[in-house]
Amino acid sequence: MELFETIAKRHSYRGPFRDEPVPLEHLRKIVEAGLLAPSGENAQTTTFVIVDDPVKVQAVASMPYNKAMQQAKAYIACVVDKHPASVYENMTFQTEDCAAAVENILLAVTALGYATVWIDGWLRVNGHAETIGRLLNVPDDKVVRVILPIGTPAREVVSKAVKKPFDERAWFNQYGGTQ
Ligand SMILES: Cc1cc2nc3c(=O)[nH]c(=O)nc-3n(C[C@H](O)[C@H](O)[C@H](O)COP(=O)(O)O)c2cc1C
C-alpha cells in the first residue's frame, strides 16, 4: 500500500476480528517498523512484547474492554521505563520515542490489512498495565505503556473520528495566519 493511502486508511478499530491468526512473520514485520522509528538521541528506549501464545492472548482478552481487545489474535505491548534516565541535558524522551514507534506500527498494521487501536489510557486505570506486565514478565522497573490488539477486521475499518480541517490547525509562516 502506498504511504499516503496507508496514512489515510489508518483508523482506530475497536470492533470484532475474524477468527484468523496473524502469522508470525507479519507480527515480526510490524514490530520491525516500530524498531525503525526515530528516538531521542537514538536511545531506542521502547521495547516490545509480541503476544501470540493462545493462553496469554486469552488472559489479556478476558480483561473487559472493547471488542478489539477481547477478540485480538495477537497483541503488541510497548514497554518503557517507569523512571526514565536522562539521555540529553536532563531530558528524557521515552514518551515521544514510544509514540513514534507506535505510529510506525499502526501504519504497518494497516498496510498489511490488519487493524488495531492505540490503547494507552485504559492501561493506566484499574491496574491494567500492572496486570498485563505481570502476565508478560515485564521487569518491575518497566511498564506497559501502550498495547495494540491486532487482527483481521471483521468489519470495514472506517473513520469514526472527525478531523479538524487544515485551516483550523495548520498555517504557513505564522501561527493563525492566513495566506
Ligand atoms: C496517546 C493515545 C492514547 C489513546 N488511548 C486510547 C485508549 O485507551 N482506548 C482507546 O480505545 N483508544 C485510545 N486511543 C485512540 C484515540 O481515541 C484515537 O486515535 C482518536 O479517537 C482518533 O481516532 P483515529 O485513531 O481513528 O484517527 C488513544 C490514542 C492516543 C494517541
49-102: pLDDT as tens digits: 999 999 999 999 999 999 999 999 999 999 999 999 999 999 999 999 999 999
Query: Is 93 inside any structural domain?
Result: yes
Q: How far apart are CA 2 and CA 13, in angstroms?
A: 20
Residue nearest to atom 27 of ligand 1 (CA): 11
Cβ–ligand 1 distance for 119 under 6 Å, the answer: yes
Residue nearest to atom 22 of ligand 1 (CA): 161
Query: Is 24 inside any structural domain?
Result: yes
Query: Is 179 inside any structural domain?
Result: no
Dihedral class, residue 42 (left if φ above 0, else alpha if ψ from -120 to 50, else beta): left
pLDDT(178) > 80 = no
**CB-based contact 57:51 (threshold 8 Å):** yes
Query: Is 107 inside any structural domain?
Result: yes
State how many domains the chain has.
Answer: 1
* Structural domain span for residue 69: 3-169
**CB-based contact 146:31 (threshold 8 Å):** no
Q: What CATH number does residue 109 fall under?
A: 3.40.109.10
Query: Is 154 inside any structural domain?
Result: yes
Q: Please give the distance, rounded to the nearest whole angstrom, from the Cα atom of residue 178 to the centre of ligand 1.
A: 30
pLDDT tens-digit map of 123-163: 999 999 999 999 999 999 999 999 999 999 999 999 999 99
Query: Is 117 inside any structural domain?
Result: yes
Q: Please give the distance, rounded to the nearest whole angstrom, from the Cα atom of residue 53 to the centre of ligand 1.
A: 26
